[in-house]
Structure 1
Amino acid sequence: MITFESKEFATALKTVSKVVPNRPSHPILGNILIEVSDNETCTLTGFDLSTSIRVKTTCISDEKQTFTLPAQLLNSICSKLPQGELTLSTEITEESVKATLKSGSGKYELQGVPAADYPPLPSIEGQTGEIKADSLNKALKIKSFASTDETKQVLTGVRMSEVDNQLEFAATDGHRLSIVDIGEFNLPENITVPAKTLGTLSHILSNVGKDDVVSFQIHDGMVSFQVNDYSLTTRVLQGDYPEYQKLIPESFVGKVSVDCEELARAINMASLVGNKNDLVRLNFEDNHCKVTNESEKGSVEEQTEIAIEDDPPEQICFAADYINEALKHIPSSSAKLCMNGNDQPAVLFPESDDDLLHLVMPVKIRD
């Protein structure tokens, strides 16, 4: 029999379930691998043949054992259990697994599959480097700038590369670009990691301390991240990543300082009369930015204060979602919007952070 603290077990189970496919190509991939290696440690594993998550959780067990149980059903049960003691008893044969869970007055019986049917997990030897969890979490926020179009597979990932001895993360969907540097680092090779996987890594980092250290390894088309009791391994994306550095202007003709919250509010209001993929116009004059939009539904004009530092274009137009996403991911209250006319890439720089930028392509419109 294995004894767990129910909430701790449910938290670990929720994490590994993030990589369990809803419609697995092989039925066994719909299961969680449960390994009791000693009297005090249980390791849970989820795997979809590309990405694996392993989480260690504490337990009390009278024997070593390994088996699998259906992830969806197990997760549904454990997520609703009250806090307290959870016991798991098993009857394991070469052909089958029968598990009985008990919590409070509840008793739940599940049919599992022997661990021998579970596919072998990828492993990576050696240590490439270490990053503080807080710094890595900051970099992972740009994952939303990656493409969701599976036909552009390499753009669905976040690029990790060494640029001028700095570890740099970049994400683009072809219309916008976000770049963040997180410090000096010697990276053996540049890789592109699936943004979806990095979303799971962000979830893991939410369960650890800011100063905890994340170690990672890169080898043979795989990358692995480990922190505390968590381990995530995934295949990197193949293909040539765009030379995004060439998109960043070396200088700018026009610069304005904006209040991120106020400009985002004005853009949101202007979007109310718009349609999907709607556009908003920004007009700069006399230290004010006028945000306008119109459609068959009506028209909106909003105004916010800015500080004009150089000579911005009289008007520039953006996809509302793209410029708002950039403003949302500015860590400071204000930012500089830098431009070279209304048909060249515009760049947002946080006032308080030189290691981050968001580039957004304006939309050329006819009056």
Structure 2
Amino acid sequence: MKFVCTQHDLNINLALVSRAVSTRPTHPVLANIKIAATVEPDLIQLTGFDLSLGIQTNFGARVEKEGVLTLPAKLLNDIVAKLPSGEITLDDEAGDNLVTITSASGRYQVRGMSAEEFPELPSIERGETNQLSATAFIDGLKGSLIACSQDETKQVLTGVYLKVEPERLEFAATDGHRLGIVEVYPNETDRASEENSEPVETANTNSFEVTVPAKALRELEKMLATGTEKDRLGLQFEQGQVVFGWGERKLTTRTLEGKYPDYRLLIPKQFQRQITLDRKQLLSALERIAVLADQSNLVKFSIASDSQSIDLSVESQDRGSGRESLLAQISGADLDIAFNIKYLMDGLKTLPTQEITISLNGPLEPVILTPLGGLKMTYLVMPVQLRN
């Protein structure tokens, strides 16, 4: 194998696929990145795979000799990232899986392993590829990933439940303390983002439901963010496996087994109180008083209908206390209620509009935060019992 490429192209793509390389591999070859070079077309394919999450990408290069092998991901990343910009050459002419990396500044040799031991990425042979809007998919991930559970004993809750329908995508995640739901309509997103350009054809979407690990979706979110609004996201699914593809990139992951809970049952059908206020002002006030929160992370809301205001307060025996007051449009009776300040701030950061609505009932019943206009998003947070 021998090819010439730019340091920038190799560095960017190595960093991308390295996200799927295990830090504690079950087999030595899984600590490596698979590199395949083809002459027609002149293309380099990089693959990282930890047996659960796989990332593959292609980029153009001048291939002088075809070949395939694997090299240690961390070592290769460290070398290439520090090389000067410009052309670099990789070749294995020394034999014995020894690769020479040559740049304008120097020459390095890295010992790899045969690609024969590297497992193939799973592929889905049956069924059609669903074509989705990448922009709509990012919107859904932003509002749901934050609520995934970190508790591995509740494995199905460590992912995002994804419901795909021909005209609608629904994303949902919950850790038992909060719940994020986002509904996006890809065709509407397409029209908004392509106002001054030619429309992109949307393929018919098959309906299905799947729970995808949060780890894989966080990587997908980062990768999609580097694309363009016109990118189409291809999605294939069959029992136990889901594959996302767009442009020259592919991400494959195992799905999470088990029935996802019926999260819609958690949302109250009616509310006794409703508050409309500026999201950024509330978030800024919480960020200021959060520095005084103790391990309980508790913030108290005192809602006053007469004065149309909310008092936020934090009290810590060891640190002291803080209080902020905000004006708001309030309907319903006065109420004292408390929240985990981190959960509340997480939700406020994901809501996309300037003004939001907070709907609530009693001091221990679910509270709903929704954006005023824009994206159809629901963020539910459970209150915390106030101590006397």
- TM range, smaller chain: over 0.9
* C-alpha deviation, 1:354, in angstroms: 5.1
Q: Give, in whole Å, the separation in 1 of the partners of 2:175 and 2:105.
A: 52
The aligned counterpart of 1:250 is 269
1:148 aligns with 2:150: yes
Alpha-carbon spacing, 1:187–1:147, altered in 2? closer, same or farther (3 Å): farther
1:57 aligns with 2:79: no
The aligned counterpart of 2:195 is none
* C-alpha deviation, 1:314, in angstroms: 1.5
* C-alpha deviation, 1:91, in angstroms: 3.2
Q: Give, in whole Å, the separation in 2 of the partners of 1:209 and 1:92.
A: 41
* C-alpha deviation, 1:92, in angstroms: 7.3
* C-alpha deviation, 1:150, in angstroms: 1.1
1:84 aligns with 2:86: yes
* C-alpha deviation, 1:366, in angstroms: 3.1
* C-alpha deviation, 1:163, in angstroms: 7.3
Q: Give, in whole Å, the separation in 1 of the partners of 2:332 and 2:9.
A: 57
The aligned counterpart of 1:302 is 324
Q: Is the deviation greater in 263-272 or in 192-201?
A: 263-272
1:341 aligns with 2:362: yes
The aligned counterpart of 1:357 is 378
* C-alpha deviation, 1:128, in angstroms: 3.6
Runs of 4+ residues deviating >6 angstroms:
none
- Structure 2: which 5+ runs fail to align? 187-203
Alpha-carbon spacing, 1:163–1:342, altered in 2? closer, same or farther (3 Å): farther
1:175 aligns with 2:177: yes
- Structure 1: which 5+ runs fail to align? none
Q: Deviations over 1:302-332 (max 9, x none)?
A: 1111111x20541111000001111011101
Q: Deviations over 1:87-130 (max 9, x none)?
A: 1011376xx30100011122110000011111122111243411
Contact conserved, 1:277 with 1:320, CA < 8 A, in 2?
no
Contact conserved, 2:236 with 2:244, CA < 8 A, in 1?
yes
The aligned counterpart of 2:101 is 101
Q: Deviations over 1:214-271 (max 9, x none)?
A: 0100012100000101100100000121110111112211100121111112122222
Q: Give, in whole Å, the separation in 1 of the partners of 2:357 and 2:208.
A: 33
Q: Give, in whole Å, the separation in 1 of the partners of 2:274 and 2:97.
A: 66
Q: Give, in whole Å, the separation in 2 of the partners of 1:354 and 1:234.
A: 27
Q: Deviations over 1:17-58 (max 9, x none)?
A: 001011111000000000112251110000000111100011
Contact conserved, 1:41 with 1:58, CA < 8 A, in 2?
yes
| Counterpart residue identity of residue 118, structure 1 | F
TM-score by length of 2: 0.90
The aligned counterpart of 1:321 is 342
| Counterpart residue identity of residue 182, structure 2 | V
Q: Give, in whole Å, the separation in 2 of the partners of 1:222 and 1:188.
A: 16
Q: Give, in whole Å, the separation in 1 of the partners of 2:167 and 2:293.
A: 44
Mapping for residues 1-367 of structure 1, pairs under 5 Å: 1-39=2-40, 40-91=42-93, 96-125=96-125, 126-141=127-142, 142-162=144-164, 166-183=168-185, 186-285=205-304, 286-296=307-317, 297-308=319-330, 310-353=331-374, 355-367=376-388
TM-score by length of 1: 0.95
Alpha-carbon spacing, 1:140–1:251, altered in 2? closer, same or farther (3 Å): same
| Counterpart residue identity of residue 43, structure 2 | T
- RMSD of Structure 2 on Structure 1 (CA): 1.7
Contact conserved, 2:148 with 2:175, CA < 8 A, in 1?
yes
